[in-house]
Structure 1
Amino acid sequence: MRRVGLVLGVAMLVLGGALPAEAKPERRCGWLVNPTPANWWLRDRDGEWVLSVQGRDPVAGMDEVPDMSTRGWVETNGHYGYGCACLTLETAPGQRVVRVLAAEALPLSRCRADRALPPPG
């Protein structure tokens, strides 16, 4: 019985150590969208990266996202809306965001000039 516990403990350590290895940091730039409370995503040339959905816990590191109104912000619903940003994200397969490592607000003109980006809304 003691051996089974040891084997399970080692298996949990091995599997637990493997999970962070699948996540990888990536710098992604595009439209940072916050249309309503607690809903945030980044739309870049590769698609949509969900950061927060109302009613669920946001991804770790959302406190790294700066006040977007400092470099341009388009209000579409009260003070909710979208801006242009680059985020360094730890991602996993399936366009899943694991953690926000860093974020930088950019001028709206940067995203508007990028023809590879889909519309922000």
Structure 2
Amino acid sequence: MSGDWVAVRGGDSPDGTPYSTFELHLKVSGKKLSGRYCYVARYGAKIDCDPEGENVNGTLSFDGRDASVEFDSTFGATSGKAQLSLRGEKLTWKLLKAPNGGAYFGPDTEVLVPEDRQEKRCGWVSVAGRGRPLLKDGDGTWTLVLSEGESANVPTRFASTGWTSTGRDSGFGCACAYGTVNRGAAEIRQVKEMQTRPMKICRSDRSLGPAPRR
């Protein structure tokens, strides 16, 4: 259960900002669990987050797959209670009692996954000028963290599958990227491979929506 966990919901804002992000940063020592949570909602309008302090403490079950925790908000509310359950690579947060004595923002129930993990993501890849390429899939929009030289050469990779230019140094194509997905930052880092695909594959996938116009 130790590690960095995140759940991201929505990504339909014009700049790809998710509607909400819930993070748990946990440490385990024996049967004791400690750490902090960070909740950002309504596209950043609601924030309950302390990037430094700890506000989550609890005790693990015998097998380490469950934990009962108490937590405080960053607005003075105290003695909240929640249940954590780890099954495979999914960590479920279930609120049992909201903290009292101050404001609190957080989900009632949420399923989190490791913040960083190797994944293959497929969808529309777009470039606008010298900005970093973006990949839009059914879960939202991800920034492809590439070097400046790699970003500049993205359009040339689509020579055999099709690239639509939308202006100087701008355009889009269809591709899959394999790398380290960081959900908190909505980034695909350490991109090991980018496999271009025919445009018709993305156009036929309704979860992707229309091709981007950057």
- What range describes the TM-score normalised by the shorter chain of this pair? 0.5 to 0.7
For 2:134, which of 41, 44, 48 is the aligned residue?
Answer: 41
What is residue 82 of structure 1 aligned with on the other side? 172
1:113 aligns with 2:174: no
For 1:97, which of 188, 197, 210 is the aligned residue?
Answer: 188
Partner deviation per Cα, 1:6-50 (whole Å, 9 max, x = no partner): xxxxxxxxxxxxxxx852111111000012124311000110101
Q: Which has the higher strand share?
A: 2
Unaligned runs of at least 5 residues, structure 1: 1-20, 53-57
What is residue 69 of structure 1 aligned with on the other side? 159
Give the secondary-structure state (helix, strand or coil) at the position aligned to 1:72.
coil
Among all aligned residue pairs of Structure 1 and Structure 2, give the percentage whose two residues are the same amino acid: 33
1:28 aligns with 2:118: no
**Aligned residues, how many?**
95
* Distance of 1:50 and 1:108 partners within structure 2: 20
* Distance of 1:67 and 1:98 partners within structure 2: 18
**Distance 1:90-1:78 versus aligned 2 partners, 3 A rule:** same
Unaligned runs of at least 5 residues, structure 2: 1-113
Q: Which has the higher helix share?
A: 1
Query: Is the deviation greater in 72-81 or in 109-118?
Result: 72-81
Give the secondary-structure state (helix, strand or coil) at the position aligned to 1:109.
helix
* Distance of 2:181 and 2:163 partners within structure 1: 26
Query: Is the deviation greater in 30-39 or in 40-49?
Result: 30-39
- TM-score normalised to structure 1 length: 0.66
Give the secondary-structure state (helix, strand or coil) at the position aligned to 1:67.
helix
Q: Say which structure, 1 or 2, has more relative contact order (CA 8 Å, 6+ apart).
A: 1
* Distance of 2:206 and 2:190 partners within structure 1: 27
Partner deviation per Cα, 1:71-99 (whole Å, 9 max, x = no partner): 10111013520000011121123223222
Is the contact made by 1:23 and 1:98 (CA closer than 8 Å) also made in structure 2?
Answer: no
